[in-house]
Amino acid sequence: MSVKMDYGVLQAINQSICDVEREWEFMGRKWNNIKEKKASKDASTSRVYAKFGKEIYVAAKQGEPDPESNRALKVVLERAKTYSVPKAIIDRAIEKAKGGSEESYSELRYEGFGPNGSMVIVDALTNNVNRTASEVRAAFNKNGGNMGVTGSVAYMFDPTAVFGLEGKTAEEVLELLMEAEVDVRDILDEDGAVIVYAEPEQFHAVQEALKKAGITEFTVAELTMLAQNEVTLDEEAQAQFEKMIDALEDLDDVQQVYHNVDLGE
């Protein structure tokens, strides 16, 4: 028996398949950038630990010092776990918050541009706004970039919860999340790991569903900003861009740097 299919319908189906394949490819590139970022942080552990200590202190001070009743703190602690932050550093930061320390920090976001249409978001925690603004601006300006106004870049990024885990397939993870009635954006197999992309407000729901299924160790557990579209740079521009990102991440007050450049694998 033969089945005739309208040419327009066939075109639409083919286009849908191509769109899905492109989206998977793009999400894969996003995952590569997350891996690159994590690898660069892993290479400078003392600086990473110091930044996590500050972030844990701020989260604990703004709410209860108990992660079970303080969701912001719970997120930071889960992230810290994936970077192997020592328990002593975590405990010290929480005890400092419990002790009524008067040290306070402002949460700031800067937006800017690098070479050839590259976009950057910088999140900082600081006890001196003028110092941080000056240092961030200098890191941009000295490396071929420039700071933009609030909103000039952020609209091109999507706040996203990202989990990475091993020992399961994407199909298995999808099934257990469906059973828990947790909605996510995407679940992909990438380099032997399963990557789950979800809305930021689903971070705890995803985490709890996975933990109830016996998954308690994550290679990545992040609330991040993912670029809607990525750009590629030529070799010279990419080298300059990476130098700018390094300069920003080296600043003591900077906690996170997000960008829209495909750095490759």
Alpha-carbon distance of 150 to 132, in angstroms, equals 16
Measured in whole angstroms, the distance separating CA 67 from the mean position of its chain's CA atoms is: 20
Provide the pLDDT for residue 44.
66
Rounded Cα distance, 247 and 112, in Å: 14
Tell the residue number behind the tokens 């639409």, with chain if given: 12
CA distance 1 to 170: 36
- Give the integer Cα–Cα distance in Å for 152 and 122: 13
Token code pair at residue 175: 């099934």
User: H or E stretch including 221?
Assistant: strand 220-227
Return all residues near 165 (Cβ < 8 A) that are at least 6 apart: 173, 193, 194, 196, 210, 215, 217, 218, 219
Evaluate whether 223 touches 203 at the Cβ level (below 8 Å).
yes
233 neighbors 241 (Cβ within 8 angstroms) = yes
In this prediction, residue 256 carries a pLDDT of 94
Domains (range + CATH), the chain? 44-98 (1.10.10.200), 106-155+229-259 (3.30.70.980), 156-227 (3.30.70.980)
Does the predicted TM-score (pTM) go above 0.85?
Answer: no
State residue 16's pLDDT score.
Answer: 42
By CB atoms closer than 10 A (0-12, 13-18, 19+), residue 158 is middle
Q: pLDDT tens, position by position, for the chain (265 residues)?
A: 433 445 444 444 344 434 444 444 445 555 555 555 555 555 568 888 999 999 999 999 998 899 999 999 999 999 999 999 999 999 999 999 998 788 899 999 999 999 888 999 999 999 999 999 999 999 999 999 999 999 999 999 999 999 999 999 999 999 999 999 999 999 998 878 899 999 999 999 999 999 999 999 999 999 999 999 999 999 999 999 999 999 999 999 999 999 999 987 5
Three-state secondary-structure class, residue 135:
helix
- Token code pair at residue 96: 């400092």
